[in-house]
Structure formats: structure tokens, C-alpha cells
Structure 1
Amino acid sequence: MDILRYVAFSTDPLGGNPAGVVLDATGADDATMAATAAEVGYSETAFAVPRADGALDIRYFSPQNEVPFCGHATIATAVAHAHRHGVGELLLHTKAGPVPVTTATGPDGAVVATLVSVPPRNEKIDDADLAELLDALHWSAADLDPDLPPRVAYAGARHPVIAAATRARLADLAYDMAALGDLMARRDWTTVVLVHRESDTVFHARNPFPPGGVVEDPATGAAAAAFGGYLRALGLVDTPASLTIHQGVDMGRTSLLTVGVPTGESSGIEVTGTAVQIG
């Protein structure tokens, strides 16, 4: 397999979130994909198989397991595909459902990709699960923003959303990886969306990812889509809206995600970003 390496949600190879991309994984079995992802070592590697209709079947593997959907690897795959085949529209068939992606060339010559998630949904977090989650994070109820209540949000993968009352609380991330990973495995949570609201449409985010063997994801498109759906479902943003999410800053991999939240509860959430190939 030809393994490409891209950084998503940044044009700086030292920023964003690295992803492995295989544009043609035809014939690769599960064991081969899992071993390849572990060898690459990034939080996700995407394995695409071209279809006769021009679409791609795609699967996503972390170093430790497979996830149904990954946003940053989707953006990386779309940009890599555009570099090879030209910009335009592309349909990805993921385990979570169909995800259309559009690529275009920006004013600076960089390829920009926009994905549209599957329809999002939200559910309340059980009180016992919330207590266990906060304990694993070493957070208390007093650390939470009461205007952004805890929920489990979905837009292709499940993520608990926990909002910090202060930017300082978000910046201080030192959690129990084993305890959090065990809880997330039991509840089928992919990452934890930790956020702080700077303004109505500007947010700062961090995403622990212990089920994948990754302490923190520097840019998480699937979580950003889920978070956009969460804000819409709870009436916490006026739609249509364009959100800016800053991520990776506290770990030295600055990333920028733009999230489009259309009106209509069944509408997918748009996540836009750039990507750049790395050696």
C-alpha cells in the first residue's frame, strides 16, 4: 500500500493533526489495516477503496482499534484525493453512513475540504457516568460551565461533551488515562469533547482519546461535527451558524476547524479545514 502522511486542519506541518492516508487499500484485510495503523502511529489512518461509481469505501483505524468515523482523516483523505485527481465532489461510504466531501482550491493555492456529517443526535449522560468521567478527568462539578450542560453527542461517533467554565481549567489537562479509557470503552465513546466558550461562535477544544491509545487529539473533526449538532439541539447557537474551533494550542499543534451548523435537526454538520502533506 502507498501510505501518504498528511496534517489536517493546518497548513503548517508542525500544526494540525497527522493522519495516514491510503487512497487504494483494495485487498487489504482487517489485520493488515490494523497493523499498518499501529506502525504509522498517528491517531488515525484512513484506508480507502475506490468504487466503480467514483465514490470511496473508507475505514479508519487508530493504533489500537477501528472507529466508525474520523473527521481529520476524512479531510486529509479528501485533500490527498484532490491532489491526485483534482478538486470537486467526493462521496465517502463510512461505517457510520455516507459522508459527502467537497474540495476546492483556496486563494492561497491550498486545497480546502468540507465534509457533511451524518445526521447528529444527542443524549443525556447518566449521573453515575458523569461522576466517573469527572473523577477520571480530575475535574469537579464546580469546573463546569452551567450554560453548556454535559451530553453525549453523535455525528458519526459518540463523544461526551464537557464544558469548562474557564480557559485555565481547559488548559490544565492531566487525567487518569486508564480509568477514562475503561469508561469510554464500556460506553462506546470515541473521544471526550472538552470545550471552553470564548464567544457565541468561538470555542477552544481538547479531545482525550485513550481508547485509541492517544493521550490527546490535536484536531478532531468528528467531535467538532458532534459538538455543532449538540449546540443546535440544545438551542445554544442561532442557526445557520459558522463556528470557529481552536484546538491543539495547549499541546503545541495549533489547529483551526470551521463548523457550519445549518437549520434543521436532521441536517448534517459541515466541518471545513485544510491539509498539507508531510514527509
Structure 2
Amino acid sequence: MADTPPDVLRYTAFSTDPAGGNPAGLVLDARELDDEAMLAIAARLGYSESAFLTRAPDGDPRSYVVRYFSAKAEVPFCGHATVAAAVALGERDGTGDYVFHTRAGEVPVTVTQDPDGTPRATLTSVEPHVTDVAPGDLAEALAALDWPATDLDPALPPRIAYAGARHLVLAASTRERLADLSYDFARLETLMHRLDLTTVQLVWRAAEFTFHARNPFPVGGVVEDPATGAAAAAFGAYARALGLVPSEAVLTLHQGEDMGRPGELTVTLRSGDPRVRVSGTGVRIPG
């Protein structure tokens, strides 16, 4: 453990408003921290995840080993903390390309500026995959959520999608169904541990390329994640694999509105490249 306290930054991702999007703790130089210290910092902050960066041994000054911790445990990959960390690095070291070496694999990240000067980070996921969900597991998830099966959108069938972390994708048939979220925390947490899920990705299709999302996250110690980059990447892979969108498309996901922390995630699919790109803005949280 470090003898002096590390410099802990607080950024929000997928919003230009510190009160919107998804907040993350960041330690841009975590080389003196052991696992216990990183978990303690993440638990103290109480955010859904925090990111801890150390320079990669390859000597590239823009290459980092990144570890992600929720308040309860380490997770293999976190999209919003990746975007937040990239924005922070861009502000410190300049725009351009970075490489994050994560437990899920290598994640390239590019930092740019919007025309108004707002920083934006785009991550490129590891290669995704989509699998069926067993009927019994689906029934247990719906029971934990207190969702009747008739409230699901048959056009978007349930699947487990992965783009660095595993997410169960369930589509609501109405916006009202998505807005009404009150679930059995312990029951859903138990199922998610058994299926190795990071979140449950609840979505509603508002238009051809526009979706609203909510992400219960009991395994991370929080009821709901406000904006979930890893799940957005997984959802992009899901939508393409099921032919819900063209192989080349740009999707917009709105998340956090029902929590009072609205955020916007852009998901880009490219023909011939199985990976998914997720981009968003970010801003430092004062104090």
C-alpha cells in the first residue's frame, strides 16, 4: 500500500454535466496501490466503478494497464470508467490515441474534441459474442425483476451479450415498463453471480436507431448503473447479431433519465469489423 494517499479524481462519463452521466473514480498513477487499496478507494467513493491506471511495460507513454473495481469487487472491463479515464488523460496529455490493457483484452481509445471544444472519448471493444439464455435463467431473471413475460418486446429476444463483460439483454415492450423498475436485489444478484453477469441491460426501442436503457447492477453493490459503456458495446453486438440493425450503423442509447442523471452513449458498428465502438463526452466533477 502507498505511504501517501493517491490522487483520486472524479469524472462523469457520457454527459457534459457533472450531475449527469455516470460518475467514476480515477487514479491515473496507481503503481503504488495493491488490490486491497484499490478496492478500498472504490468502496469509499461508492461509484459503480473506479479505474486505476499504471503505465504499461511496453514503454509507450500512451499505453496503460487499467484495472476496474466496483464497491464490492474487481470487474474485467468498465466502459464508462474507460471513457472518463480517457477524457482525463486527454485533458492532461492531449488528444489522440491511447491503448488500455484490461483483464478483458486490449482496448484502443481515441480522444477528440467536439466542435465546441468538449472532449469526447471513443473506445473500441474486444471482439464480442452473443449467446442464448436458458429458459429457466430467463424465468428467474423476470421473477427477480417482477416483469411478466408478456411485457417483453418479442422483436428483441433475450440474449446474453459480451463485449468485455457479460450482460443479459431484456427488451421492454413499452417505455412505461422500462420506467417502472423495482426489483428483488438479492435474488437478481444471486442469479447474476451464477451466470457471471456484470449488469442486466434493460432496453426499449424508441426509433430505428434510438434506444433507452437501464442497467440493474446489484453485483456491484448499487441498484442501478446510470450509463453503462460496456453494456452499450454488448448491446451493439447483440443488435447486429440478431439483424435488428444493419452491419454498419450508429445507435444512440439514452440512459440515466429515470435516475435523474441523463446520459447519451453513441454506439458505432462498422461492416467487416466485429468490434463495437462506444463514444461519449466526459467532464470532471468539482470538489
How far apart are the structure 2 equivalents of 1:41 and 1:108? 32
Number of the residue aligned with 2:221: 213
Aligned residues: 278
Q: CA deviation at 1:130?
A: 0.3
CA offsets 1:68-124 (integer angstroms, 9 cap, x no match)? 000000000000001111111000000000000000111111111000000110100
2:276 to 248, 269, 273: 269
CA offsets 1:211-245 (integer angstroms, 9 cap, x no match)? 00010011000000000000111111012100000
User: Could you list the runs of 4 or more consecutive aligned residues of structure 1 that deviate by over 2 angstroms after TM superposition?
Assistant: none
1:83 to 91, 98, 108: 91
2:42 to 37, 46, 56: 37
Q: CA deviation at 1:6?
A: 0.2
Name the aligned partner's letter for residue 169 of structure 1: R
What TM-score does the superposition give when structure 2 sets the normalisation length? 0.96
What TM-score does the superposition give when structure 1 sets the normalisation length? 0.98
Q: CA deviation at 1:40?
A: 1.1
Number of the residue aligned with 1:109: 117
Number of the residue aligned with 2:253: 245
How far apart are the structure 2 equivalents of 1:263 and 1:143? 33
Name the aligned partner's letter for residue 21 of structure 2: G
| 2:55 aligned with 1:47 | no
3-state SS, counterpart of residue 25 of structure 1: coil
Number of the residue aligned with 2:24: 19
| 2:21 aligned with 1:4 | no
How far apart are the structure 1 equivalents of 2:55 and 2:114? 26
3-state SS, counterpart of residue 109 of structure 2: strand
Q: CA deviation at 1:140?
A: 1.0
1:201 to 196, 203, 209: 209
- Give aligned-pair identity as a percent: 61
How do 1:92-131 and structure 2 match up within 5 A? Answer: 92-131=100-139
Structure 1 residues not aligned, in runs of 5+: none
How do 1:133-152 and structure 2 match up within 5 A? Answer: 133-152=141-160
Name the aligned partner's letter for residue 40 of structure 2: A
How far apart are the structure 2 equivalents of 1:197 and 1:151? 16
How far apart are the structure 2 equivalents of 1:183 and 1:255? 28
**CA RMSD after TM alignment:** 0.7
How far apart are the structure 1 equivalents of 2:68 and 2:137? 27
Name the aligned partner's letter for residue 32 of structure 2: G
| 2:156 aligned with 1:164 | no
CA offsets 1:29-60 (integer angstroms, 9 cap, x no match)? 11111111001111110000012222000000
Q: CA deviation at 1:27?
A: 2.5
Name the aligned partner's letter for residue 198 of structure 1: A
How far apart are the structure 2 equivalents of 1:23 and 1:126? 40
Number of the residue aligned with 1:256: 264
How far apart are the structure 1 equivalents of 2:263 and 2:185? 23
How far apart are the structure 2 equivalents of 1:39 and 1:251? 21
3-state SS, counterpart of residue 134 of structure 1: helix
